[in-house]
Amino acid sequence: MTTWETHPVTPDRFEDFADVVNPNRRATHCWCLSHRLRQREIDELGEGSREQAARRLCAREVPPGVVTYRDGVPVGWCNIGARSDIPRLVHSTKIHPVDDVPVWSIVCLVVRGGHRRQGVTSHLIEGAVAWAAAQGAPAVEAHPVDPGEGRMDLTMAFVGTRKMFERAGFEEVGVTDAVASRMPRLVLRRTLPGGG
């Protein structure tokens, strides 16, 4: 029987997070910083400092996301947090809040190479939503692509698709001015118990 667990990416789980997002620990590759730090701050870090910045984010009182494990192996990463703590969303000119609800936002999903198309994403989203609820979030939002009848550029797959979030109980509450792969990005929300 397969066991699934999802945990916040605290310092003791940093290597598990890195195994998912940057398994070769390349300094210039993704450390999932772009939504949490402004471009100027990332540039100021210089080469090789991105990993240290990611470590500092994971040491905060509220870490920047969760890692999902299948049978003890880290297989997924979700960058999730209060929208007000995600500078890229706070300052966005294309993804505006739809109301005054202090939502948490999912800004990135990554499934570890070799583990895709095996049901990881649904467990990852559920684990992220459960963690947000435990932190007092009234609702969780995501901004996936709506490919309609079209095909999505797989290099943009990190933004997700409407269907995977709808299967997780999210409903459309708006449309952003942002696009990915020339397709609109939606505002999908899942209201949590006690979230109104």
Q: Tell me the per-residue pLDDT of 87-114, one tens digit each, with 9 for 90 and over.
A: 999 999 999 999 999 999 999 999 998 8
How far is Cα 97 from Cα 30, in angstroms, rounded to an integer? Answer: 26
Query: Does residue 150 register a pLDDT over 60?
Result: no
How far is Cα 38 from Cα 33, in angstroms, rounded to an integer? Answer: 9
Mean pLDDT of 125-147: 93
| Encoded tokens for 98 | 């739809």
Helix axes of 50-58 and 14-21: crossing angle, nearest 10 degrees: 130
- Tell which residue, 6, 189, 196, 194, has the closest CA to residue 104: 189
Q: What is the value of pTM for the model shown?
A: 0.89
Burial class (CB in 10 A: 0-12, 13-18, 19+), 83: buried
Q: Tell me the per-residue pLDDT of 35-75, one tens digit each, with 9 for 90 and over.
A: 888 777 776 766 658 888 899 899 999 999 999 999 999 99
Which CATH number does 4-191 carry?
A: 3.40.630.30
Domain definitions of the chain by residue range: 4-191
Query: What value does the mean pLDDT of the chain take?
Result: 88
